Structure 1
């Protein structure tokens, strides 16, 4: 991976700009253009689809730019951090849509690059980059949420295959996923040292999913059940009983990417739009509200800069650190505060749930406000993140 700079980087920027302009589907140039909302995730249902979002994803994947810094030998872009930054800047400047939103890119791929064997990398990484497979995460269980290492989903060695029995909960989009990266127990005599990391085809006999309705009216989370599910031996990543190390590493990537999704103009689990403009529109201009809106905007600006710095340090140092827990905690708190401010600024128009008298954006803001309550739970609860900060960042002793 070459490290370009100066004139070479300028030439690369011109190349990127030209390619994006030539290859972006014209149907997507309209900001209001509608596509299947599931298309950005890719996966099996979109094989052969001509949805403009899928066309865009395929073109970007052919360049390796859905995973720009991954090695070219697996289908990635093979770009240097400086080149990847240029690509990111040009995508933002041209207001191009994100080509692929993928747990495979955000979480699984990085740990496969670090822990998987060569056959596993060549089997799964190209499919992740191309958006051919949609992944879900099998971590939490009904009795193992904050204490994830207490998981009990059993994985037995049957000689020529693994046999898995148990259940997971809060499995995001499991009902729409093709594959699952899953933590299982291969040794009941040990806690952390008895966990392994396996990859499960969701089409396997014995896999069942059930969506969980949320207070916001959405059902992105599922219960997932495994009943005598046979998994090929080659689907074990890393060593037997070595899954806890992989699990912790993947959680760092998850928290890093959850945090990156929060931003003042973003919609990571909450409402979007400029708070100050919304407050002005609804006549909510009292000094106290203005002060709190300003503080939230400043906090998000500082958060974005911190995320950018952390991402740069991560690329330079070989991966995310425990500091991602600090960012994830702050992002969740700022996002919840922002949604609360938005609903407050709307006054009585921020009380709607359904029916006439409310605009779609107003109803979305209320549901988004409720959805942000999960921000402090998903990707590790805020309480757990505070413990990580205490122990691994600040080096504080356990309370007596």
Structure 2
């Protein structure tokens, strides 16, 4: 476990005074932010919390979201709960709320007016169970981005693409230039997320909701889904040999090193470019959508606070939750993380061009939609992840077989 201490940081103690406890407490925080960009971001939270001068952030980083969530659940159910834990904007933690194992943040949320500044409303709705608030959203992450190496495309005599169809047409030239067209790794969620972006480019928002919200299995068996799967087959036809054992941030590094042309990955990849000193528009392009008319889903991260027996720890938990949505902290954290802030009154002088691009899209509610995690349980999302990873690597699986398995998941997904 690591302790983060910020020397000389500007304290927000006055802002937190209403919930300050009389004695110091340690708050152990479980999270899965272990890449370079992620570590820079979580350090902002840790440093800002410690800088308040009253309590201590105790860091427990566990590589892999599934591993970190499993560890949290085991410890909560085993009576050794951490003080705080990272989850996604999803249904992942609703059973803990239902069982009464989470700290109720409703009074804090009402006192600080979270409903007035957290946007869009859907991300705070995820935290609500039976009218009470049990988590704090800290960022907005969207899958609908592509990250393009400008030098790699230049080496092939190309400009970075503006949409998926254009990229598919560029694949032969990239191969001729001995450049990996699409960077992807071995984690199953990489395939599910990127294929979902391609799927959205074909079926649109209405089709997305037909599949995941309305459970329209016949649509899953239809020609539009088949077209999306064919595009995926085309752009993954030349996956490099190292893909199967590579994690997402090492995959991003292929683009940073100009060995691969493009990665379809959520906006958290921006943190890796920032740590590497890359400049958007010069070294790489961040392509929203990727489309000329992009949509963004409202994924992201939340923190839950398991109930504690010690009232001083509980007071520290409330102070941490308040700190996480502080406007200054929101700007610092999300600029490091690559995500978008959950509030739109932050200091935009800290934002780079990619963050500004995402914020501009979020201003139009018609361009924002809910991702699969809102409609699917973690188990059903895992079934999708496994299917799409197998489809990527197993070239013997036909599109018809993949569609039928997809339709079956849609039909049998839990409500």
Q: Same fold (TM over 0.5)?
A: no
TM-score, length of structure 2 as denominator length: 0.27
The one of the two structures with greater contact order (alpha-carbon pairs below 8 A, sep at least 6) is: 2
TM-score, length of structure 1 as denominator length: 0.28
